[in-house]
Structure 1
Amino acid sequence: MIYELRIYTILPGRIDAIRERFSAHTLGIFARLGMQVCDFWEDLEAEPKLYYTMKYESMEERTRQWEIFSQDKEWNEVKQRSELDGKIVERIEQIFMKRAEYFNL
């Protein structure tokens, strides 16, 4: 199992737009496509950042899921509509992780 931490730096004044896009659309599209979000956070220091983790069986599965997502008609329509007033995301960082074998929940 692999995990991906995704960090979105949001452009100034666009945090409400990204909140709306994730809550009303993106998370539902992820679910419909079988993409598993483990958890989701906003920066505590009022930085315009979002953090979330996703879980995959393998890097190949991760690549396949994101290719399907990027070509999804609903996602592309939502993205286009949500960016009519300008881009929302300045930068996306990705960190790939595996659970430490010595840690037990």
Structure 2
Amino acid sequence: MIYELRIYKLFPGKLDHIRRRFADHTFRIFERLGMQVCDFWEDMEDEPKLYYVMRYESMEERVRQWETFVQDAEWNEVKQASEQSGKIVERVDQIFLKRAEYFNREL
């Protein structure tokens, strides 16, 4: 099992835009494409950031899912419509993780 921590640094004033995009569209598109979000957080500091963790069976599955997602017609329509007043995400950082074998607690 592979986990991916995705960190989105947002442009100023765009937090509500990304909230609406995820709530109204992105989570549903992820689900339709079989993409699993384990958890999702917003930064409590002044700098607008989102953090979420995705779960995959393998790196190959991760690559396949993201290739499918970025080519998805609905996603591209949603992205274009949501960015009419400017881009929302300045940068995405990705960290790939595996569960430590000695950690045996369910979350």
TM-score (norm 2): 0.97
Q: CA RMSD in A?
A: 0.5
Q: How far apart are residue 45 of structure 1 and its match?
A: 1.5
Q: Which residue of 2 aligns with 1:89?
A: 89
TM superposition outliers: structure 1 runs of 4+ over 3 Å: none
Unaligned runs of 5+ in 1: none
**Equivalent residue pairs, number:** 105
* SS at 2:26 equivalent: helix
Q: Percent identity?
A: 74
Q: Secondary structure of the residue that 1:18 maps to in structure 2?
A: helix
Map of 2:20 onto structure 1 = 20
**TM-score, normalised via structure 1 length:** 0.99
1:22 and 1:54 map into 2 onto residues whose CA distance is 14
* Deviation of 1:99 (Å): 0.1
What corresponds to 1:79 in structure 2?
Answer: 79
Task: For 2:86 and 2:47, locate their aligned partners in 1 and report how far apart those are by CA, in whole Å.
Answer: 19
Mapped partners of 2:18, 2:60: distance in 1: 28
- Contiguous gaps of at least 5 residues in structure 2: none
